[in-house]
Structure 1
Amino acid sequence: MRTRPYSEVDVFSDEPYRGNALAVVHDADGLSAEQMQRFAAWTNLSETTFLLPPSSPEADYRVRIFTGKEELPFAGHPTLGAARAWLDAGGRPGVDGTVRQECAAGLIPVRADGDSLAFQAPPLTRYGPVDEPLIHRLADILGIQREKILAASWLVNGPQWIGVRLASAREVLDLQPDPGKAGELEIGVVGPYDAAGEAAFEVRAFVGGDPVWEDPVTGSLNAGLGQWLTDTANAAPPYTASQGTVLGRRGRVHMSQRDGKIWVGGHVTSCIKGTVRL
C-alpha cells in the first residue's frame, strides 16, 4: 500500500452536500481491479473513481468507475466529478477549454465554466421499445398499475437503464417501489411538472441489486432520458431536471443540445481533500 491523494466532490447541486457524492482516488497506478472494487464497496457511495494516465494521446487522463458491485464503462456524475477533481489537482484543459476524459466507453468531452461542468452524452448502445411483459414487471416493481406507464425505452449507455415515462412529476415523487422485486434491473422514471418553474421534470433512479438502491442524482440516466424525450418531442432542450427530492437532496441536471448532441451539466463542489492508503 502507498499514500495517494484523495478527494470527494458533490455533483449536480449548487448547495454542497445536496447532490450526489463521488469518491476520487488520484494517481491510481498499480491498483488492480480487485483492489479498486474492494475500496469502492468500502466507501458505500454510489460510485468511486480512480484517475490514471491516459492510454489515448487525445485524452487528458483516464478514469475507471466502480459502483459497490461492478465496474462501469461510463457513468455521468463520476464523469463530472472526476473532471472537477482533476482540474482542482492542477489539470489543465486544452486550448478550447474542453477536458477530454478517457473511460472504457471512449473519449468523453467535458466543458468547464467555473463550478459548472457539462459532458457530451455518449451514444446509446441499446435504444428502443421495451416488450410488454417487461413493462408489466416494471409496473409491479414500481407499485403502480400498468396504465400509469405512458412509455418505456431501453437507454443503455454503460449502465443498463430502462426509462419509464409517467404523466406527472407528482406520480414520480409518490412512487414506493419494491427493491426485492427488481432483481438486477436499472430503472429510471421521469415525469413533467405542470407549471413553469426551475425544473421541467422530476427524475428517480432505482438500481436493483446495488447497496445504493435509489441513486440521488444520475448523469447517465438523464443523458439517456434527454435523448429519448427529445426524440419523442416530450422535451425541448435546454431544460432542467430535478432529482433526489425524496432523499432530501436538491439535484439539478441541466440538459442542453449542441450540434445535435445532448449535453448534461451541473454544479460540482469540492468537499473533501486528503490522502488514502491503497
Structure 2
Amino acid sequence: MSARTVRFKQVDVFTPVPFKGNPLAVVFEADDLDDAQMQAIARWTNLSETTFLVKPTIPDADYHVRIFTVEGELPFAGHPTIGTAHALLESGYQPRTPGKLFQQCGAGLVELNAQAGGAWAFAAPPARVTPLPTDLYTTLTDALRSDAIDFSASPCGIDNGAPWLVVRVSSAAACLAIKPDAAALKRVVEAVGTHGVAVYGPHDADGPATFEVRCLMVGGNLGTGEDPVTGSANAAIAGLLSTQHRRPGPSYTVRQGTVLGRAGQVSVHYDDAAGKTWVGGSAVTVVDGTFRLP
C-alpha cells in the first residue's frame, strides 16, 4: 500500500530574497491529520512554526489555518499568516474577494489585504495590554544589559495571540547592541505572561528603516533565542506606539534579523478611518513539493 502524500511548501517570510527572512512550513490538505500528527510534523520540521491548511468552518473565511510550534498550537502568529497566504495563492487559489483574504485561525477571523509588488498585509488582531510593574524596571535593565531603555514609553506585555513584552530603546544601535541575560529576562517576561521581549529602537532619518526590531525568546534549557522576523511582535509594537501616542507617521518600516544575518522587511500602515493597523511584507517559496505521511 503506497504512503499518502500531501502538498508542502517551505517559504521565507518578510523578504523577497530566499534565506533572508523567517522560514515557514505549510502543509496543504491537512483535514485528515489529527492534533498529534500535526504536532509531530511541526517537531520534525523544527521551524518556529508550521501551518496546516484545513477546510474553514466560518462562512466568511477563505481558508482555515492551524499554527503549530515545536511545542504546541498558537491561536495566531504573524509570519505564518503572511507565509500561508503566499503559499495558498501561489498554489492557484483565487480569493473570493479580489485583493482580500479572510483567514480563520484560533484567534478568529483575520483579514489580509494585497499590497504593492505582490506583498500582503494582515489586520492586527485585538490585543490585551499589561504594563510591566515599575518595580521590575531595574530587573529589565539588568536582563537586557542595557542602559538605553526608554522608560518614558512604558514597557508593556502585549498579547494578540502570541504574547510579547514590548520595550523601546533609544536607538537602533542600542537595539543591536543588546546581549541579554537569559535567566533574568525569563523572570521579567513571565511577570507579564509573555514568552519573550520585542525590543525596538529608531533609526536615524536616513537609515534603512524607521525602526530596528529584535525579538528575544526565553524558555527551558535553551537560554535566549532570537526570532528572525516577527509579525505578531510588529503588530504589538504598532499597537503600543498608537496607544502611547508615539506613531512616527501614518506608515513606517521595520528592519529585523540583522544580528542573525537576515534582512527582514516589515511595513506598518495605520488606517484610522477603518480602525485597522496593517502589518505586511513579502514572501518567497524556497521548497515546493510533497510531504510523505506515515
**1:243 partner amino acid:** Q
Aligned to 1:122: 125
Distance in 1 of aligned mates of 2:207 and 2:8: 37
Unaligned runs of 5+ residues in structure 1 are none
Q: Is the 8 A contact 1:80 1:117 kept in 2?
A: yes
Q: Report percent identity of matched pairs.
A: 47
1:18–1:250: 8 Å Cα contact kept in structure 2? yes
Question: Would the aligned equivalents of 2:148 and 2:169 in 1 still touch at CA under 8 Å?
Answer: no
Q: Any idea what SS the aligned residue of 1:246 has?
A: helix
Following superposition, the deviation at residue 87 of structure 1 comes to 0.7
Q: Displacement of 1:61 after TM fit?
A: 0.8
Query: Could you tell me whether the CA contact under 8 Å between 1:9 and 1:21 is conserved in 2?
Result: yes
CA separation of 1:147 and 1:75: change in aligned 2, threshold 3 A? closer
State the match for 1:66 in structure 2.
68
1:256: which partner in 2? 269
Matched ranges for 1:192-207 at <5 A: 192-207=202-217
CA drift at 1:149: 4.5
Alignment match, 2:253: 240
Corresponding position: 1:272 with 2:284: no
Distance 1:163 1:43 in 2: 29
Matches within 5 A, 1:110-189: 110-113=112-115, 114-124=117-127, 126-145=128-147, 149-150=151-152, 151-183=154-186, 185-189=195-199
Q: Which letter does structure 2 place at the counterpart of 1:5?
A: R
User: How many residues are matched?
Assistant: 277
Mean CA deviation greater in 181-190 or 12-21 = 181-190
Mapped partners of 2:120, 2:148: distance in 1: 38
Deviates more, 1:88-97 or 1:219-228: 88-97
The answer for unaligned runs of 5 or more in structure 2 is none
1:97 correspondence with 2:99 = yes
Which amino acid letter does the alignment assign opposite residue 45 of structure 1? Answer: L
Aligned residue identity for 1:227: G
1:66 deviates by: 1.1
Contact 2:6 2:292 (8 Å CA) reproduced: yes
Where 2:25 maps in the other structure, the secondary structure is strand
For the residue of structure 2 that corresponds to 1:275, the secondary structure is strand
Equivalent in 218, 227, 237 of residue 230 of structure 2 = 218
Residue 16 of structure 1: how far off its partner (Å): 2.0
Alpha-carbon deviations, 1:186-232, whole Å to 9, x = none? Answer: 11101101233330100000121276820000000000101111232
SS at match of 1:95: coil
Q: What is the deviation of 1:263?
A: 0.3
- TM-score, structure 1 length as denominator? 0.93
Using the alignment, how far apart are the partners of 1:145 and 1:9 within structure 2?
A: 37
The amino acid of 1:187's aligned partner reads V
User: Deviation string for 1:31-56 (max 9, x for gaps)?
Assistant: 12222122212212111101100011
TM-score (normalizing by structure 2)? 0.88
> Could you tell which deviates more after superposition, 39-48 or 50-59?
39-48
TM-aligned CA deviation for residue 19 of structure 1: 0.6
